[in-house]
Structure 1
Amino acid sequence: MNASGTLFVVATPIGNLQDISARAVEVLRSVALIAAEDTRHSARLLREYGIATPLTACHDHNERERSHSLVQRLLAGDDLALISDAGTPLVSDPGFQLVRQAREAGVRVSPVPGPCALIAALSAAGLPSDRFAFEGFLPARSSGRRQRIEALAAEPRTWIIYEAPHRLLECLADLRDLLGGERQVVLAREISKTFETIRGLPLAELHDWVRDDPDQQRGECVLLVEGAPVVSDDSELDSQTLRVLTVLLEELPVKQAAALAARITGVKKNRLYQQALTMQASD
């Protein structure tokens, strides 16, 4: 009985084709087949490095079914590579089903590390990076996006999202409205490409800058959001927190206003509830 092959999960450039590693090129040349998110897109990279290995499509719409036949080839002894259009497969890209099925079948899965947009952006953003959260793409619809932002508002770690260029301005507007105009956010756009932009500003300023420059609404976008400040119970509430609580009290009962303000600002709900009672009593 033949030993099974290895599935190599290969990171590829997110922009500059020279960012591919020597090991990645060697692996892509040596495997029997490359499973690619878009074969036409990946063909350019293979041509650049003289890689003649056959390609087969493995994307969101066919991955579950395609994975079975690919795992059979692996079990028969073939080495295969998995690549996405850019960056590291499975990080907001297809590949989960194939990797999972391969591992369940006892096939060795080996990562070939390389470019990843979220890590590249984080390394140059100047925001705290000792602990961070990756949220991928937020919901495309405004209601779902705003709900997710509200859930992340009190997150103390730097958090990172991907956004499509045609939704970038809407996303920044929702972030500004829900987090406040002073929250620091970094836009990392077209990383390693000709028009690479990495710009950090308070949300209100960043929104207006992107609005006034349509060129910033193009290409691959990463947004890195400064974590919420950790506020202790005995500290004075800052003006932004008081403003949020005041606005919510105009529309909601005290308990609901305090709970929502806690999600937005990161201040503990009990502290805000007591403040809300004090504010109402003084009216």
Structure 2
Amino acid sequence: MWIMFFIVFVPIIIGLIHFCFSEKNNTKDYVLNSQNKQSQEINKKISDYEQKKIEYKIPTTAKSVFMPSVGRYFICKQNNFLILFGDSYVFYNKQKNSIQSIYVIPIDFILYYKIQGEVRYEMQISGGGGGGSSIKGAVVGGLIAGSAGAIIGSRNKINEIKSETVKKDERIVELVYITNKNNENSLSLFFDYNSLSVFSELIPEKSYESYKKNKQQIIEINPTNKDIFLQIEKLAELKNKNILTEEEFLEKKTKLLSQI
């Protein structure tokens, strides 16, 4: 009987042990392969990201700006372009969405950057409440000082009312630019207020104050001026600088030519 037991069950037990060890090794190999694959993917992403930085000539000294709800961008000026290059988080996570990870904007297409929003101060009040009667306090007060103590002891402590002035800085920086030379469509990008100093350093000529000043300096058409073509040339310069729209330029040009 024991011989039959060994003949039948021992091979089964050995097979089960072998199967368990084999599955354990397979699981270990699967985990290692999965980890190696993830590591390779991460290394490839890092390599692609660094290659893109080289391709767009992003210097190590590039400034940093932040788009609320989007992420951080490196910003620099290359030749006649303003380049915004998303950091690794933006680069890998925002490509799937409508947000661009890289912006290359011709300087001439930038209309202005401007502060939007304001700093507000709010008064926040806390505390107060309490008061009323406490049965527990009345019982303790009554035991110590009789009926008068019961009345006094029943009164709850009134919480101290405190007020605090809270500063809320809602300022952001809006960068407005056009998408083509005809000045037909304008787009806006929004950055936190700390980004203002970066734009002031890189493109000071594109401040909203400069933009308004240039608008005010648009040549007023003088009917007595004989050099009409010179005026048209100056108007064309203003249009090329995106100070005049195509419609404004054509309107003033037509008015000038009608005087010939």
Do these two structures clear the TM 0.5 threshold for a shared fold by scoring above it?
A: no
TM-score bucket of the superposed structures, by smaller chain: under 0.3
Q: Which has the higher strand share?
A: 2
The structure showing larger relative contact order (alpha-carbon pairs under 8 Å, at least 6 residues apart) is 1
After TM superposition, the score normalised by the length of structure 1 is 0.26
